Amino acid sequence: MTNNLFPTLKRRDLFATATAAAVSATAMSMRSAEAKEVVRTMTIRGHDGIYPRLMSLALESKGDYYAGHYVWRAAQLEKAAEERATALLKEKGIDPTSSMSWGEAVALLESDPLIAMTCRARSSQQKLKYQMLQNAYYERADEFLSEMERADKMGPGTLELNPKMHIPEYTAHEIHSMPGGYVGDAFAGHMYHSGTDWGAYVDVNSQDGAHMAMAAAAQVPADGKVRRILDIGTSIGQLATSIKRRFPEAEVWGVDIGGPMVRYAHMKAADMGVAVNFAQRLAEDTKFPDNHFDMVVSNLLFHEVNEQGAKDIIKEVRRVLRPGGVFSPTDTNTAPATVKAKYTLWYNYRWNHEDWYADWHSVDFAGEMRKSGLKPNNLKNTGDRYSPQIFGVKA
């Protein structure tokens, strides 16, 4: 997707540069003294734990406001909307936990202003924060594009970009209302990182705490051998770097269709000094050999792909896992507990650019695992909404 601000920057396009096209898949395995200096200039405002701070106090303060709005909406407004929905349904003699379709839930609840406002508050927060972030990075685009160009050549870890690869249509949507989605804006990784810290991960993941918990929960092969690990749909690499920190001796790869996402992931991992290899590739066509990985992990990938994509990815996971290898995916719950929850899912699908929510809720994930040759096993829910509840072992 094209942003009308970008041509005014008078810079060569991100994916048309000779630099991007020439990025090697065998970058340095160790950072040089020069690399350390350059990576640590990701920000002029120092670091907050493992990550650099945003470029200005003003932007940081506005981010705090959006994070606070998200928490208020999730904790207070959603509670009020749920109570309103319960009251409305009981007036009609309907059990608030009744089994029904999304369409039936919408017909029952869409006319209530409080419920509608609650959903609108979420989608508007998404749009406003991402527009603010995009404007901030475009105002200093030369600086941040140059920073990424320098980091492309650094280690530890490697980066592979494929600017001429085919981008499937289903991957080119503006997921979460993020401008350009994951593939269409040079600063997709930058926006995603701050945007999720002010949204879904607020107060739980400023230092990758949620991803470290996912990495700790990932299942290990019964023989205990962990030499190679793949993170599919790696996004900005938070799970990949977390899994590498759990298994420092393993070779870890993160793949994602979003070139800007893996580019940011590599820069971030290099800044952390974590040796992960990132590549712009499809999760359903990873290009790795058969039986190559001991473990495959993913986080929040499958609700962002269509039904056929999910089926193809599961087949690819089975192909690249070695016998006895384990697949540990995490994603959103597909069993909404109330009629109001079904309405909210529909609203996000329709108005908040969760374009494949309906597909995700129709896929028989365990069944597709069995079809592909993976043996699914249930895990006890730990209470975390993103905790794995099922994993698959290759026979």
Domain range annotation of the chain: 6-57+132-394
* Whole-number Å distance between alpha carbons of 180 and 108: 34
pLDDT at 360: 83
The string of pLDDT tens digits covering residues 96-148 is: 999 999 999 999 999 999 999 999 999 999 999 999 999 999 999 998 999 89
157 Cβ contact partners less than 8 Å away, ≥ 6 residues apart: 27, 29, 266, 269, 270, 274, 275, 276, 277, 278
pLDDT at 379: 56
Residue 36 pLDDT greater than 70, yes or no: no
pLDDT at 34: 34
Confidence of residue 362 (pLDDT cuts 50, 70, 90): confident
| Domain 6-57+132-394 of CATH type 3.40.1380.10 | no
Element spanning 319, H or E: helix 307-320
Comparison of pLDDT for 176 and 263, the residue scoring more: 263
Confidence of residue 4 (pLDDT cuts 50, 70, 90): very low
* Whole-number Å distance between alpha carbons of 321 and 283: 13
CB 200 within 8 A of CB 175: no
pLDDT at 389: 56
pLDDT at 21: 32
Strands (E), 201-318: 228-232, 251-256, 277-280, 293-299
Residue of 90, 18, 332, 49 whose CA lies nearest to 205: 49
Element spanning 118, H or E: helix 113-139
In this prediction, residues 184-212 reach a mean pLDDT of 91
In this prediction, residues 15-21 reach a mean pLDDT of 32
Question: At which residue do the structure tokens 């995916």 appear?
Answer: 329
pLDDT at 205: 85
* Whole-number Å distance between alpha carbons of 65 and 72: 10
Residue 371 pLDDT greater than 60, yes or no: yes
What is the average pLDDT score of the chain? Answer: 85
Paired residues of 160 in beta bridges: 279
In this prediction, residues 176-194 reach a mean pLDDT of 94
